[in-house]
Structure 1
Amino acid sequence: MDKKFNSNIENSQLQKAPIYSLKERNRRWDLARQFMEQNGLEAMLIVGEHEDAGPASYSYDVWFTNSRPGSTVLLPKEGTPINLLPAPMFVLDHMEVGEDAWIPAKNIRIGRDSNAVVQAIKDLGLTKSEIGVIGLEPAIPWQPEGFVGYNYWANIKSKLPNSKFQSIGFEFAQLLMIQSEEEINVLKHAANIGETMVQAMFEIAKPGISEAEVYAAGMAAALSRGTVIPWMHMCSGKNNLRFGPPSWAYRPTPPRILEENDYIAAEVFCNYGDRSTQHQFALAIGDVDEERERAANVARDCYEKGLKIIKPETKFGEVAEALLAPLEDAGGWVRGPQIHGINPAIHIGRIPENYIQIPEMEKYPDIHEVPTLMPDMELLPGMSFVFEPSCAFGRNLVTVGGTILIDENGAVELNPSTGNLFRK
């Protein structure tokens, strides 16, 4: 790689990071109101997930507020939205933003429980209205039935018997996928930070240091560039198949010390301004096993097939199958989807059940294929996706890939370096 990690960031560089304007706010609110008009809605209720939800967080509230995640938004078809905040400290954050805040102080309220939502709906005279709700639909991949609690929703419905609610999350999310020029600039900034995270991890990784040091180098690269990112997936070893947070992130066990001929796999998540990117960092330290080399070549072939086919007017399912074809032809197995949507993450490619060929998998009886989610959706310029093609033979698994933006001509690789196996 030509780029080198520079830990000495000039303040002038940080100040050049892209921001959102009030024009972007108006574009978003107008888009939501057009959606309401087309669907016969008088308001939208947007329930945001907890601010520490991690990767693939459900933070649609931020799209409306450009503020701290973890709030609830009530947007009427006419007028300014009401923003329900969970605690007084959120109000202090809003206060410090000043005149650039998207929602004025008079529309900020403390408390986002069900009673607070009911009161806000009553205050806007919406007790006999059609209200679209974001938060009731499945939040892929962590909340297959949505994350709004039963007691919360039951109380709202019982106290507003004449209001009609409908889940609109999937439909509205498809509008959000077509990003504006400002959003694309923020997305590219996030991708650049992600590239420096990967570079920092590459430079520090060597036998004798711990996984934790590699992890810390990537996190520090992001923090020093002015963003706070979610945790990342990472594992190391000769034949390690894990692909989640490092085990020392959730149970008492020491981080592994890297050895010669190890393989490191990391899924690096970067987030800046509510735009997310993903970077598949695959590093072979020393010699590469013949089967791992073969897996890396197949994974790269899948990646290139995806680049060739993804373009406007193509169906998502067609791209998903193109990314799977070389893997299935080679007889390998895949650890997860070869492609999924991002900003927001509502599309997931097919996961075949070919991972049953792992010898230990016979211990797990409920193994089945996961079908492509929303295969018929037509791709359009401004959408972003994550390519994460994997291939494995036996216990030799390699995953490559990164974030792809679609423009009028096809695929734009926002972080091309992770489309290949790194070697050291």
Structure 2
Amino acid sequence: MNVPTYSLAERDRRWALAREIMEAEGVQALVAYGEHECADLAPFAPDVYFTNDRPGAIVIFCRDADPIELTWSTLPVADHIQAARRGEELWIPPERIRVAKHAAGVVEVLREHRLESGAVGVLGLDPYPPFHINPIMPHGLWSQVLAELPEVEFKPVGLSYLFATICQSEEELAVVRHSAATGDAMAEAMLEAARPGVSEAEVYAAGMAAAFRRGLAAPDMLLSSGPGFVSWGPPAWSYRPQAPRVIEDGDVIMAEVFCRFGMKETQHQVAIAVGRVHPDIEIGAKVARASYEAGLAAARPGNTFGDLVEAMRAPLEEAGAWNVHPLVHTLNPMGPVCGFGAGLRRLPDSARYGRLFEVPTMGGELPLAPGMTFAFEPNAVIGDRLANLGGTVVIGEDEPIELNPFTAQLLRSQS
């Protein structure tokens, strides 16, 4: 298997982007806060973008100097030492790594570069959909930094980071393609495992094992099964003490499969019919497929993300369907996302709940450009039954590039 990697030229390109962000924002330094390691889905990891190293650091660029990496403990340092002994090409030299992921460490670096006043850009003070609608920066850490450096103007620069990094380089696209191919392998393994009498856990395990055998991180999976449902999330047995559901004839299995390689994520919507499924699921799958095709037609430079969302919504509106989760959102990094959830009010059960509101579309003004990656996940509820399909799509120079046509259809178990 030919496994793509990142070169020092890719490092230099990314570091140049950091300095372009600093210049555009009028700041003398850039502080990139990284979420802790072992985060499952959609981690906030601009630190890894600049270090190509273990997640969970703070990376600081000061003026023209090379970045300094602040780690949370000695464990990343031990990994760095071992990687050097193996002859791996590392982006950050030992002299620029400190065990100091705390307020004092940040303040120390800025003071060393005489930045007790002026402007400093920060990654970690902006919302980061889908899970960090509230900024991820810890209050305790940041309040101490502000107290120690009262004359510094700290500016959130998340939007500049999004625009600077969302169009993937050729090296990054090779990594994305590798991840997407593994997502297909996961879907194929799940399709082979899906049959009456096996549990959801066995289908889940088949998919995850396919990724691990290829050396990719599959951080988690959303999965539901049954003759029909409107739920969307991780299987209940992954967070509640109960037995996994056993698949029956006439069930549909719906899953959202996540692959991550080189911190680039691809997403894959797996829909498997086990035997003859309810007609509403068949209809919903056709509506979702029409939404997918409408999205491909709109996924071209010259359109905006809002144009893409409206195109994918049209088939649902025509069919009187609604979407449980987003029809489409950006990947690498996350950001603009299609609105979802309004149709939940149609369910009689919803009247018993408190405040309900639709998550609105965010980032509709984003212009589409070559190299952007998107999760196409069109889903349609007909009656009380969800149908969901799709995969990862790249914006090309003239037309979109489908990386996962295999999962852009209702799959059928042959067992």
- Please give the range of the TM-score, normalised by the shorter of the 2 chains: over 0.9
Matches within 5 A, 1:322-361: 322-351=311-340, 353-361=342-350
Give the match for residue 43 of structure 2. 57
How far the C-alpha of 1:366 sits from its partner, in A, is 2.1
Give the match for residue 285 of structure 1. 274
Measured against aligned partners, the alpha-carbon deviations of 1:14-61 in whole angstroms (never above 9, x if no partner) come to: xx2000000000000011112212221111000001112211111111
Between 346-355 and 82-91, report the one with greater CA deviation. Answer: 346-355
Name the CA distance, whole Å, in 2 between partners of 1:106 and 1:121: 17
Secondary structure (helix, strand or coil) at the match of 1:367 reads: coil
How far the C-alpha of 1:82 sits from its partner, in A, is 0.6
Name the CA distance, whole Å, in 1 between partners of 2:403 and 2:62: 36
- Does the CA contact (< 8 Å) of 1:333 and 1:357 recur in 2? no
Q: Does 1:212 align with 2:206?
A: no
Give the match for residue 8 of structure 1. none
Name the CA distance, whole Å, in 2 between partners of 1:237 and 1:352: 21
Name the CA distance, whole Å, in 1 between partners of 2:328 and 2:300: 14
Give the match for residue 135 of structure 2. 146
Measured against aligned partners, the alpha-carbon deviations of 1:253-282 in whole angstroms (never above 9, x if no partner) come to: 111111111110100000000110000001
Measured against aligned partners, the alpha-carbon deviations of 1:390-417 in whole angstroms (never above 9, x if no partner) come to: 1011221101111110110121011111
Q: Does 1:75 align with 2:61?
A: yes
Give the match for residue 202 of structure 1. 191
How far the C-alpha of 1:208 sits from its partner, in A, is 0.8
2:145 to 152, 156, 164: 156
Name the CA distance, whole Å, in 2 between partners of 1:200 and 1:310: 29
Task: Give TM-score scaled by structure 1 length.
Answer: 0.95
- Write the letter of the residue equivalent to 1:108: I
Give the match for residue 244 of structure 2. 255
How far the C-alpha of 1:350 sits from its partner, in A, is 2.5
Matches within 5 A, 1:302-341: 302-341=291-330
- Write the letter of the residue equivalent to 1:82: I
Name the CA distance, whole Å, in 2 between partners of 1:110 and 1:296: 51
How far the C-alpha of 1:230 sits from its partner, in A, is 0.5
2:31 to 34, 45, 48: 45
Give the match for residue 36 of structure 1. 22
Give the match for residue 285 of structure 2. 296
- Write the letter of the residue equivalent to 1:118: V
Name the CA distance, whole Å, in 2 between partners of 1:408 and 1:394: 39
Secondary structure (helix, strand or coil) at the match of 1:175 reads: helix
Name the CA distance, whole Å, in 1 between partners of 2:378 and 2:17: 34
Name the CA distance, whole Å, in 2 between partners of 1:243 and 1:365: 19
Secondary structure (helix, strand or coil) at the match of 1:392 reads: strand
How far the C-alpha of 1:364 sits from its partner, in A, is 2.4
Give the match for residue 191 of structure 1. 180
How far the C-alpha of 1:290 sits from its partner, in A, is 1.1
1:97 to 61, 80, 83: 83
Name the CA distance, whole Å, in 2 between partners of 1:224 and 1:401: 23
- Write the letter of the residue equivalent to 1:165: F
Give the match for residue 5 of structure 2. 19
Give the match for residue 7 of structure 1. none
Gaps of 5+ in 2: none
Name the CA distance, whole Å, in 1 between partners of 2:190 and 2:159: 36
> 4+ residue stretches of structure 1 with deviation over 6 A?
none
How far the C-alpha of 1:241 sits from its partner, in A, is 2.4
How far the C-alpha of 1:352 sits from its partner, in A, is 5.9
- Does the CA contact (< 8 Å) of 1:299 and 1:398 recur in 2? yes
2:154 to 157, 165, 174: 165
- Write the letter of the residue equivalent to 1:32: A
Q: Does 1:395 align with 2:384?
A: yes
Task: Give TM-score scaled by structure 2 length.
Answer: 0.97
How far the C-alpha of 1:369 sits from its partner, in A, is 2.8
- Write the letter of the residue equivalent to 1:211: E
